A and B are shown apart, each in its own frame.
Chain A
Amino acid sequence: MHCYGIQRYLQIMKREFLFLFKFDIRRIVVLFCAASAYLILFSLLYQQGTVEKIPALVLDQNNSALSREFVQYIEDNEKFHVIAEPINLETFQNKISRDRELVGFIIPPDFNMEAESGRSAKVLMVMEGSNLIITSTSAIAGLEMIRGFSNEKGVKLLEKNVSLSALQAAQKIRPVDFNYRIIGNKNLNYMYFLALGLSLAAFQQGIFIAIAAAFLYKPQGIMNNEIKLNWLARYAAKILPYFFISLVAYATNLFVAKYVFAYPIKKDILLDLFAIGAAFAFIIANIGGIVANLVHSELTFTRISLAYVVPAFILSGYTWPLEGMIKPIYWLAQLSPLTYLANTFREIILLGYSINSFHNSLILLIAGIIAFFLAAHLYDLRVKSFARSNACN
């Protein structure tokens, strides 16, 4: 094995830095900015976090004091906003079936009679089910709201019918309370749920595109002085600048998340975040190295990497949980590095820890080391082939 002075390897690194910052600026742009750009873009999209004030259309067929009280109860709920317009059953049905962002309540004509005479009154809540976010938010809020209203009325009925005090009646009507403690994402905020994972998908693409350029950008090519260098050190020298800059990009992404969008990133989780982020950047850089040395052009590499971005995100379990996938898809998802990062990253930030943090970091690191050797070997083959063609010429 030939070993040459460290200067030669430093020269390779210097050349990569020159291409990164001077001769092929798109590399530094995608490597450094992709993750933060996605974070900003998607944090802006999900900035409201939750769906509030869903337009509610109320068809009050009863028009009594009780029904008006119920309408006011809906209006007072932060999740709904009652649209004040005169409607009949026909226009109600028409509007509900046409407007996808509308919830309807039908109060029956005998509403107050039924409720006050000891027979249950039935309110119908109707919604168009195309968008699950609106449907689930409305259903959760609607059930909770009507339960509250029903309790109040039940207490009054019991007070009246059985001559109990309000407190005693309340205890009988609602003998048990269910106290919800939501951990992880207390307000069910979509920005916390989605935006960071999307920025990680862009982070991955940024590394891929920069690495592709490092190996396949025609004006850069392979230098003659690379030929006789140690194969591992040569590859490491080539890849290290990208790895270091990707770590800076990762740190910048966290900085933007914390200080611009107030993600709950505390000091004590930084070590975990950096461990898994570094392991991820390492494996992605090396997978990029493998693919770049297998394909013949930057265009092909770009096509492959861009075709991979959406499946990698969806299969990562970041939105649809891995436990909800059928086994073949579950195992396929296990082949994607993003699967080991995305959920763990979100858990560390939202829960303050992740039980899988060490395990997943280790898997990414070990797989990254294997990928490193494979990529170095493939690059060595390319350099040798280049040397042979040089010799022939």
Chain B
Amino acid sequence: MTVLQILKAEIKSQKKWKSPLFLLLFILPIFYTFLFGFTYYKNVVNHIPTVIFDEDNSYISRQIITAYDDSDRFEILFHAQSFEELQNIMGKGDAYIGIYIPPQFSRDIKRGIPTTVGMMINSTNMVFGNSAITASQEINMSAIIKGGQKLTEAAGQPTAEALSTAYPIQVKIRILNNPTNNYTNFLLLGLIANGMQIGILLFAPSMLCAEYKRIKFWSHTRTFNIVLGKFLACWLPATISICLCETFAHFIFDVPLRAPIWQIIILSSAFIFIFTSLCLVFSATFTNPVNVAQLPLGYIMPGLLYSGLTWPLGWVDSVPAFLGKLMPLYYFAIPLRALSLQGFSPDYFVCLRKMLGVGTVLLIVAGFIFHYKRNSYICEQ
């Protein structure tokens, strides 16, 4: 059989809707795209439940409370009557932020006596913790500046200079490419790539090992043709599928795709290339498809998290950094996010070259293993 005939036969045998090819290479990644897209649909954490215990109940304390209430990030759900009640509400998990304003707060400010507002933040979930700290820092900073401005004015500074005396050095923060710290932009494309990995991991490993039982059927076909035909039967649909998922991410979940589309398609197809080749190596090595299918347990989560998609690999020790660089997703997820958000990736060609180079080597290795084991089976028979 020629490569084209094998490819046609493979696709033909999988054309039913419940075939592994359709379910694992199309339905599963598309399902992941929608599932994770809708999971992060709100993009940022807003309306963090907040409890306030205002023991001062003055004009200034109410201004601070109003500043929190006006912010999208916080939602004041409780006004506690005692510090114990505040702690109780926090302890129950009904609020993640507790703000305590001490008695005589405004009097102390006016008299120039140092006073402190207590901020209690439940950071068990750091997504809440980080959002709350960043937003509260901004609100608190403007409260301090306002207060400082009024006091310096009262101390004899001209009104025009009071603000710049209270706050002589201002900071403006400019976040490039993802200015709203949008979680969908940060994660969705990487999760799609991981979903595609899972689909291939569950589909491709049974491709070659199942053929050892059909040695007679393949007796007149060259190993090269079998391996390449099988490879194409996975690579082609998977490439179409990942491009489809990226399109959904762009049009339905507003993930920007700022780089030229051809760059994204080439990078995606190179990733599918290296990953399919890797799976074919496993498939050619093992004879039991169940054992091959169970291998991903050791890979699925590390493959995603060691890739540097979330935790930057610049802040890990040498061993995890080395392991991270062994993960195919490392060469795909980060450049893909850069293409999406920055419009270019400085590592684009390096990653592309590595994926194509290693993928080719893996495909050749898969071919050799399959050829060797196939000959052994023929000799046995």
Contact = CB atoms under 8 A, between A and B. Distances in A.
A179 B118 contact: yes
Interface in B300-339: 300-302, 304-306, 310-312, 314-317, 319-320, 324, 334, 337-338
Nearest to A209: B294
Contacts of A154: 148, 165-168
Interface stretch (A185-193, A258-266, A283-291): A185-193
How many chain A residues sit at the interface, stated as a range, is 35 or more
A166 to B, nearest CB: 13
B175 A97 contact: no
Contact of B121 (A98, A139, A176, A182): A182
A142 B173 contact: yes
A124 B113 CA distance: 33
B174 interface: yes
A178 B289 CA distance: 60
Contacts of A295: none
Given A47-B316, A121-B168, A176-B116, A164 B176 contact: no
B91 interface: yes
A320 B342 contact: no
B305 A42 contact: yes
Contacts of B177: 128-130
Contacts of B296: 306
B210 to A, nearest CB: 10
A175 B144 contact: yes
Contact of A46 (B122, B125, B311): B311
B147 interface: yes
A326 interface: yes
Given A185-B124, A188-B126, A122 B170 contact: yes
Most buried by B among A96, A186, A206, A324: A324
Interface in A143-199: 143-144, 146-147, 149-150, 153-154, 157-158, 161-162, 164, 168, 171-186, 188, 190, 193-194, 198
B113 A171 contact: yes
B13 interface: no
B32 A190 contact: no
B137 interface: yes
B195 A162 contact: no
A48 B315 contact: yes
B89 to A, nearest CB: 11
B207 to A, nearest CB: 13
B127 A184 contact: no
B152 A172 contact: yes
A38 interface: yes
A276 interface: no
Interface in A36-75: 37-38, 41-42, 44-48, 51-52, 70
A101 B312 contact: yes
B245 interface: no
Select the residue from A128, A173, A323 with max chain B CB neighbours within 10 A: A173
B124 A177 contact: no
B206 interface: yes
Given A182-B121, A183-B120, A355-B92, A139 B206 contact: no
Interface in B77-126: 90-93, 105, 109, 112-126
A115 B173 contact: no
B322 to A, nearest CB: 11
A139 B134 CA distance: 7
A119 interface: yes
Nearest to B167: A150
A153 B115 contact: no
A302 interface: yes
A321 B45 contact: yes
Interface stretch (B154-162, B247-255, B269-277, B362-370): B154-162
A38 B301 CA distance: 9
Given A146-B171, A319-B125, 11 more contacts: A44-B320, A97-B176, A118-B165, A130-B177, A146-B170, A198-B301, A299-B290, A311-B36, A321-B45, A323-B49, A354-B93
Q: Which 6 A-B pairs have the closest CB atoms?
A: A129-B178, A184-B124, A118-B161, A129-B175, A172-B151, A150-B169
